Amino acid sequence: MTYPRLTPLAESLPSTVPFVGPETQERALSRLFDARLGANESVFGPSPVALAAMQAAAGDAWKYGDPTNHDLREALAAHHGVTPDHVTVGEGIDGLLGVLVRLLVGPGDAVVTSDGAYPTFNFHVAGFGGVLHKVPYRDDAEDLDALISRAAETDAKLIYFANPDNPMGSWAYGAGIEAALDQLPEGCLLCLDEAYVEFAPEDAVPQIAADDPRVIRMRTFSKAYGMAGARVGYALAAPALASAFDKVRNHFGVNRIAQAGALAALGDQRYLRDIVARVAEARAQIAEVATRHGLSALPSATNFVTLDCGRDEVFAKAVLEGLIARGVFVRMPFVAPQSRCIRVTAGKEADIAHFARALPEALDAAKGR
């Protein structure tokens, strides 16, 4: 009998699913969710211009996408005032994180992240044999100074820091990030995940030179641009690092339809501004519903609101399960003390109405346990 001969590293790893998708939960419930407010997708959808571009490109789906992502990289470079050599494109930030870790991290290499931050990054580090060193949040926000200190202690090759942050919605001031770069240990790269940056206040965005070799910035079309299903992300980095992605990336990973949609979406900044405004309005509505029922809404610079349930993880999980049972898909942070919260994505009026009806019932059920 022949069996696949996994590497010792792969053999040692547990089977892991970083996120249980809403579709899996719908199958278990034998019903569709009334409100899909858990994955931080944009229920407002892509720009009509992007939709038209993707529909037009569908007829050419028999062709591979441009493996260099040329047109999209040129447009992104112009948008950010850099050269195309500073830009690399991949299958969402998730795909880019996997390539970055593959480039930098080998068995035993130290990597620093926040305890409770984006778990897919941890998944990639484990998959390449890196050793994760985790730093707790401070006041429900990632602590960049502590991350840098831990990197110095461990001789880390890579730090992961999200601004704004998922799952808490908090953000750091750009000037503080700029100043912190001077404290980075020699040879340590800061991965700055800016998936939600379009929703952030202007002073949250650091001004970092495109050629700065200490930083790689990752952004996405999944959130504000409403194209999560298309899987398009990009990174801005010094050319030496950006070009290194070509050594190991999946050159045909971003398909032709996705490239066309992202290019068109980038060109429709008026639609993007409208979505940012609609998200801000939805956040306020979610916060109002939560406050009305005794929960605290944390300040957010993202397309979701994190709600403090006021007790412990057991209670928050009961509230979450109550919402899911009533047709409202939400998620919660994984690590205490942030796990006292639930997280609700900005939605349309109907979505928020479903949430408003389900929340008091879910709270009553959780309190009755």
Convert the pLDDT of each residue in 190-215 to its tens digit: 999 999 999 999 999 999 999 999 99
Q: Which two tokens stand for residue 155?
A: 């001789």
Strand partners, 90: 233
CATH architecture assignment, domain 48-267: 3-Layer(aba) Sandwich (3.40)
User: Tokens 């109002």 appear where?
Assistant: 288
User: What fold does the segment set 20-45+270-367 form as a domain?
Assistant: Aspartate Aminotransferase, domain 1 (3.90.1150)
Question: What angle do the packed helices 313-325 and 22-29 form, to 10 degrees?
Answer: 70
CA distance 190 to 217: 8
Q: Mean pLDDT of all residues in the chain? A: 97
Q: pLDDT of 112-128, one tens digit each? A: 999 999 999 999 999 99
How high is the pLDDT of residue 17?
Answer: 80
CA distance 347 to 33: 13
pLDDT in tens, 345-362: 999 999 999 999 999 999
pLDDT in tens, 60-116: 999 999 999 999 999 999 999 999 999 999 999 999 999 999 999 999 999 999 999
Domain edges within the chain: 20-45+270-367, 48-267
Distance between CA 233 and CA 235 in Å, rounded? 7
